[in-house]
Amino acid sequence: MLPEAARQSESALTFRLARPDDGQAMWALVRAMGGLELNTAYFYILYCTDYADTCLVAEQDGELAGFVLAHRPPGRQDALFVWQVGVSPDFRKQGLAGRMIMALLEQQAQPVRWLEATVTPNNTASRRLFSGLARRLNANCDIAEYFKAEWFPGDDHAPEDLFRIGPFDIESINA
Ligand SMILES: CC(C)(COP(=O)(O)OP(=O)(O)OC[C@H]1O[C@@H](n2cnc3c(N)ncnc32)[C@H](O)[C@@H]1OP(=O)(O)O)[C@@H](O)C(=O)NCCC(=O)NCCS
């Protein structure tokens, strides 16, 4: 755990694209913080290998503060689908999730015009995150029912709504 002073030092936060060996720290963060569906460590390592160009980590003093795992869906190569975004509780409500996703969009060599994610109805932070990103990207945000609750095993999975933000031109936003 980082000392309080280090946790609050904004300047020490760095962003970079993910590497395969980040998978373990992502798995550990998701397991510790809850709120996200925990997948296997293998899955995080695989995602950070095959989709490394569309995954980003935020670190402070070598510790994982947050991450974004995303990929370009087959057939929608101009879209980035955010599969998981997570911020360590110490770093929340400081705009980090939004800044990570904007940084990821800005780093893409191949342009992205759509940002997608699924969010459950009760995840207020995530819904506000993606609505806020639509405003920053000066783009529409369509929200539609996507994955039904009954498609998941058991009774405890909420439905997932698809947030589809776009079209946008990241270069004109930063100009
Ligand atoms: C969702 C999550 C990534 C947001 O990270 P964050 O860095 O705190 O988000 P930001 O500071 O960029 O805030 C984004 C918006 O959410 C709002 N928000 C953040 N936490 C909130 C909370 N607990 N309740 C209500 N709103 C919240 C912020 O006020 C901001 O809204 P605004 O732009 O209208 O002011 C973080 O809460 C988290 O890791 N949650 C658990 C994992 C999860 O649910 N991930 C998303 C599903 S993949």
CATH number of the domain that residue 30 is part of: 3.40.630.30
Mean of the per-residue pLDDT values of the chain: 93
Specify the ligand 1 atom closest to the Cα of 66.
39
Whether ligand 1 lies within 6 angstroms of the CB of 132 is answered as yes
Q: Look up the domain containing 26 and give its range.
A: 4-174
Each residue's pLDDT tens digit, 54-78: 999 999 999 999 999 999 999 999 9
Each residue's pLDDT tens digit, 104-133: 999 999 999 999 999 999 999 999 999 999
Residue type, 102: M
Rounded average pLDDT over 158-172: 96
Rounded average pLDDT over 127-153: 97
Looking at the whole model, is its pTM more than 0.85? yes
DSSP state of 38: -
Residue type, 15: F
Q: Is the pLDDT of residue 1 over 50?
A: no
Top mutation candidate among 67, 68, 87 for ligand 1, by most atoms within 8 Å of CB: 87
- What total of structural domains would you count in the chain? 1
Q: What are phi and psi of 74, to 5 degrees?
A: -55, 130
Each residue's pLDDT tens digit, 31-60: 999 889 999 999 999 999 999 999 999 999
Whether ligand 1 lies within 6 angstroms of the CB of 128 is answered as yes
